[in-house]
Amino acid sequence: MRTSEFMMALNALCHERDLPKEIVIQAIETALLTAYKRDYGAIHNATVSLDPVTGQARVFVEKEVVEEVYDARTEIALEDARHIDPNAQLGDVVRVEITPRDFGRIAAQTAKQVILQKIREAERDRVYTDFVNREGEIVMGSVQSIDPHTGLVRLSLGRAEALLSRQDQIPTERYRIGQRLRVYVYNVVRTPRGPNIYVSRTRREMLRRLLELEVPEIANGTVEIRAIAREPGARSKVAVWSTHPGVDPVGACVGMKGIRIQNIVNELSGEKIDVVQWSPDEAQFVANALSPAKVLKVFLDPEHPEGKTAIVIVPDKQLSLAIGKEGQNARLAAKLTGWRIDIKSASEAAEEVLRLTEREARRKAEEEARRREYERKLAEARALLAQAEQAEQSEQAAALQEEVEELEFEIATISGQDGEAPADRQAEPQAAEPQAQAQPEKEASPAQEEPSPADETPTAQPEPVAASTAPAKPAGAETPPPASEADVDDEEPEEEDDEIVPARKPSDKPSLIDLVYTLNDRGEQVDLEDEIRARRKARRKGKKKRR
């Protein structure tokens, strides 16, 4: 082969396989050495050198210079070595050419498959190196084949092939042979048959990369993507934040007349995308995440038993919009913010506030009744204790003293103290107790006063509790009047709780009571307590008419 023919063939091969010339020459040399060892015997120190200009292959073997040769394959006499290298000395190693006659033609036939195999391996390594560095990027490919059984789609990426599994496909999409697709590379695995490139169209990172390609402000760092929640093919929510005060992050992503976001929607086969503004205030962020619904108030309860929960109050007409079709809007907002979201309408929240207020009033009335009964028993026990001490009955006095301490502890527990009776109760003379029992109606107890919604503090996410009649009281206790006559007619009976309810500790958690004054759908400020009472009266009138 002439010089020009060899170089043309070598350059054509390198261009076709997109491989460096040095890698191709090294593969040919390795294949020729394999062919030589197969035909002429294995020599561990033999090498093949290929002239890149002429294409001539020459075989060399390294031999040690000795005085007397015992193994001609690995040793050479000093006189013969100096014909090759005049400066050779005993103990040196010289390269001796042992190229057989017609080696190039014979080796070319024998080493053909080896050369192709080496070139294929080099090509696979090159493809793996290229795509492993492109993990996390979007590439363009065309549909090559579709498996009707598994739904696996094979995409041609030029020199490589990518795999798009069924779970990585958008459910609403249908593919056809030759269709051009943008896909997200998320994993590259080396295998004996070449690299397996796994791509996806459903991952959140693909939406992030599309936004970076479409919105220059995201690419240069002016606008940051803080969170993404996605249901492929249906809807996505993206929370963005601007690092520059003068830049509107939502407007930058949407673009003039929505052109930027519309391009991404078209790429994702009509998937709706909501762009909301991220906020360091978690309550405000939750309200923004429920867009396009209008939010009146957000209460956060990070210590809720079911996980950190946000209670969101929306106008009555906005409730279905806030929840979304099949709960999609609320579900995406929960994924975006990381909070469990409980959505309530304004009227529902107000009714719950009133129920909790009434429940708290009944609880206080029960505690006051128990406290009075314990104080009565305590006075009797102290009187008996004094008599036992005067009569010097030590055993009876010890038992009565233990009973007195136990009653004092119960009274202190109800009063919210740490195991000690109030000082004014301990110092109260025994004779004052009958007088207190004789005139209970003249004393102003907290349970006898009508509770005010603004004074109560329910928990961050209260459970709805039905109204009940006054529970049973201990013997000798006075029954406090109901909160109001209008509410008693509408109350429903509830099971009695024999268990003593401990006094609630003060809590600084936000509560629904703040919604007593809020906005109605027309933007007017109303008193929801009066509104609910009016609704109850209307319901009672309707019941009487039906009867």
Residue type, 95: R
Same domain, 87 and 177: no
Same domain, 391 and 442: yes
Determine contact, residues 458/356, Cβ cutoff 8 Å.
yes
Question: Domain range for residue 411?
Answer: 359-514
Same domain, 23 and 156: no
Same domain, 454 and 483: yes
Query: DSSP H helical segments within 455-527, as ranges?
Result: 485-488
The pairing of strands 517-519 and 525-527 is antiparallel
544 within a domain of the structure (yes/no): no
Q: How many CB atoms lie within 10 A of CB 173?
A: 17
What pLDDT is attached to residue 218?
Answer: 94
Q: What is the pLDDT of residues 394-438, one digit of tens each?
A: 888 888 888 888 888 888 887 764 434 344 444 343 333 333 333
pLDDT level of residue 261 (50, 70, 90 thresholds): very high
> What tokens appear for 377 in the block?
């028993």
Cis peptide before 446 (omega within 30 of 0): no
Same domain, 158 and 94: no
pLDDT at 12 exceeding the cut of 60 = yes
Same domain, 150 and 116: no
CA distances (Å), 76 to each of 66, 88, 100, 220, 511, in order? Answer: 6, 11, 18, 69, 98
Domain count within the chain? 3
411 within a domain of the structure (yes/no): yes
442 within a domain of the structure (yes/no): yes
Query: Domain of 33: which CATH number?
Result: 3.30.1480.10
58 within a domain of the structure (yes/no): yes
Q: In Å, how far from its chain's centre is CA 493?
A: 44
Same domain, 475 and 365: yes
Same domain, 59 and 166: no
Q: Which residue has the higher pLDDT, 202 or 354?
A: 202
275 within a domain of the structure (yes/no): no
- Angle between helical axes of 3-17 and 21-40 (0-180°, round to 10): 110
Same domain, 61 and 187: no
> What tokens appear for 113 in the block?
């498959």
321 within a domain of the structure (yes/no): no
498 within a domain of the structure (yes/no): yes
Same domain, 65 and 191: no
Domain end: 171, 200, 229, which one? 200
Same domain, 509 and 363: yes
455 within a domain of the structure (yes/no): yes
pLDDT at 243 exceeding the cut of 80 = yes
Share of the chain above pLDDT 70, in %: 71
Q: 0.85 exceeded by the pTM?
A: no
Determine contact, residues 475/373, Cβ cutoff 8 Å.
yes
Q: How is 120-149 classified by DSSP, letter by letter? A: HHHHHHHHHHHHHTTTTSEEEEEEEEE-TT
Q: What is the pLDDT of residues 43-55, one digit of tens each?
A: 667 787 777 776 6
Residue type, 324: G
